Amino acid sequence: MLRQFCAYLMAVLLITAGCTATDNALEDGNAKVFRYNQAEGLSSLDPAFARNQANVWAITNLYSGLFELSPDMYPIPDMVDSWEVSEDGGTYTFNLKKGIRFHDSEVFEGGKGREVTAEDFEYSFKRLLDPATASTGAWIFNDKVKKNEAGDGFAENWVEATDKYTLVLRLEKPFGPFLEILTMPYTFAVPKEAVEKWGKDFRKHPVGTGPFQLKSWDEGNSLIMVKNPNYWKDDANGQQLPYLDAVMVSFIQDRNQELLTFQQGKLDFMSGVEANSIDLILDKDGAVKEEIKGKFVVQKVPYLNTEYIGFQLDPSVYKGANHPILNKDFRKAMNYAINREEMLKYLFNNLGTPGKGGIIPPAIKYFKENTVKGYTYDPAKAEELLKTAGYPGGKGLPTIKLNTTVQSKPMVEYLQKQWGAVGIPVEIEINQTATHQELIDNSRANFFRGSWLGDYPDAENYLAMFYSKYFSPAGPNKTHFNNSEFDKLYEKARYESEGFNRLDLYHKMDQIIMEEAPVIVLFYDEVVRLTQNNVTGLEPNPMNVLDLERASFVDGEVIQE
């Protein structure tokens, strides 16, 4: 298998780039080639469309930005040398590192990558907000950057390159976690020359500053990235990064087949295991199975994802004002009826943490366990609240329809039984993922299965789900929760620059969510990451980003058959 792969990769490299150090390493069998699979389809290598895991993983290794996240999820400088924030928190001034170059590309004079300047970031950021780009990332700046005097558009100088290495960003109002926003792949630098040459096809002709550069992308079959010979970072010993010679991505859609391929040693890394295969890796208590130990490395990593059930709280979607979903006591009863510990153990092999706190997952920075009081399993309390709501023993309740997808069928069937045990009749409706999302976004699902994966590692991102000015479909508030006290705290927290002050506000908001119960928090997710025993330098993180900058193989080992 190794020989076949190397022959294929060698042919691609020779056709596209001529003879390089990477070619020579492949030819003599010493190449360090990292292989991973992407079951989710890869749609674009353009940072303006870094909306899903497949795109983010590839883009993270092809591009860089002003900031990156540290292992403990704090923003640290990447292409920034230094920065300042004005006293009012509204103006950011960034001084760029000098000498960083884009990948070599035909779009530049002589085919040699030119130096990155502040104008590249000004161009890249304005491109995000250009309607012609239709970027899925426009939201990261839309409600934050400085508006024009009329208030109907953006100020001309909301982002401005004041000289070759100085970039100024102006906000309408202070936004506490703004540096976290600038770690997102949406904000990575792209060269104007490449975008203008390729137009919409820039999605498959990436030109970045990252540790790897694209060699080929056969959509749906394979993607090959090779070492950027001009990468600007060294390790602590002065050795140029990255250590790998190449990265090969396959696109096996069947997750069970992906696991088998990994077990056969044909992949070096795998993230996530299907529920019907988790028994092969973990026992019911969540421990790694004895027969697996030593064969490869298994990591259970906290993931910035909260799994929940949502209620649609917009009264206008109901025929009358007395629908049980609009009754807070009824929603609380549904919360107390669920045995989250049992559900996690028997359906997920304890992969995750029971959702007994608020909407903010424990993996988020600032999180303080037990500060926000959520719901425990208490069927007696559920029955008491049903009586208070006017439905003793469930008497008089209509059947509540729960919208979900086929992937969640075992879990929602478990929940259906739990609710039925206290007298709450629930009917399950299963739809395709796209249909399910459309129903939720357009308020046509009154009771629905949902999840929220953080876009950036700050609690504000989760609490935005409940801000009344962010109603779906334009915003993330899919429950149409509307609470004036919550809104006041949310607005105050957005403009608070001091992290400890924001922490107190975040906890207060999260407690309001638990008291008003627009959602049922089920569990805080974890992800299983599998790596072959010879892989090194691949650090897990709560965002589950695959950063291959420092990945390698122990003692220089190469891929085995």
Residue 5 lies in a domain: no
φ/ψ of residue 147, rounded to 5 = -90, 165
pLDDT at 458 over 60: yes
Is 319 inside any structural domain?
yes
The residue from 160, 194, 209 where one domain ends is: 209
Angstrom distance (rounded) from CA 557 to CA 561: 12
Q: In whole angstroms, what is the distance from residue 466 CA to residue 446 CA? A: 16
Q: What is the pLDDT of residue 556?
A: 44
Q: What residues make up the domain containing 426?
A: 304-525
The residue out of 151, 184, 209 marking a domain boundary is 209
Q: What is the mean pLDDT of residues 95-113?
A: 97
C-alpha span between 526 and 546 (Å, rounded): 16
pLDDT of 14 over the 70 cut: no
DSSP designation for 145: B
218-276 pLDDT, tens digit per residue, is 999 999 999 999 999 999 999 999 999 999 999 999 989 999 999 999 999 999 888 77
Better pLDDT: 540 or 62: 62
Domain count, the chain: 2
What mean pLDDT is reported for the chain?
91
Do 308 and 205 belong to one domain? no
Residue 425 maps to a domain: yes
Closest CA to 191 of 210, 168, 208, 167: 208
| CATH number for 334 | 3.10.105.10
Contacts of 537 (CB under 8 A, 6+ apart): 243, 550, 551, 552
Q: Is 244 part of a structural domain of the chain?
A: no
| Residue 361, in any domain of the structure | yes
Query: Phi and psi (nearest 5°) for 268?
Result: -95, -15
pLDDT surpassing 50 at residue 149: yes
Domain presence at residue 10: no
Residue 283 lies in a domain: no
State pLDDT tens for residues 337-362. 999 999 999 999 999 999 999 999 98
Average pLDDT over every residue of 96-112: 97
- Is residue 506 one of the residues assigned to a domain? yes
pLDDT of 561 strictly over 80: no
Q: What pLDDT is stored for residue 16 in this prediction?
A: 41
Asked whether residue 198 falls in the same domain as residue 309, the answer is no
Pair (205, 310) in one structural domain: no
Q: What does the block give as tokens for 388?
A: 């208070």
**Residue 90 clears pLDDT 70, i.e. is over it:** yes
Residues 71 and 198 in one domain: yes
Q: Helix, strand or coil for residue 88?
A: coil
| Mean pLDDT to the nearest integer, 397-402 | 96
Whether the pLDDT of residue 19 is over 90: the answer is no
Which of 464, 469, 520, 515 has the alpha carbon at shortest distance from 494?
464
Kindly state whether residues 516 and 388 are assigned to the same domain.
yes
Res 499 pLDDT > 80: no
Question: Where does a domain end: 209, 235, 252?
Answer: 209
Q: How many CB atoms lie within 10 A of CB 342?
A: 13
Among 205-214, 253-262, 331-340, which is the least confidently predicted range?
A: 253-262
Strand pairing partners for 516?
A: none
Q: What is the CATH number of the domain that holds 87?
A: 3.90.76.10
Measured CA to CA, the distance from residue 93 to residue 85 in angstroms comes to 6
* Cis amide prior to 540 (ω within 30 degrees): no
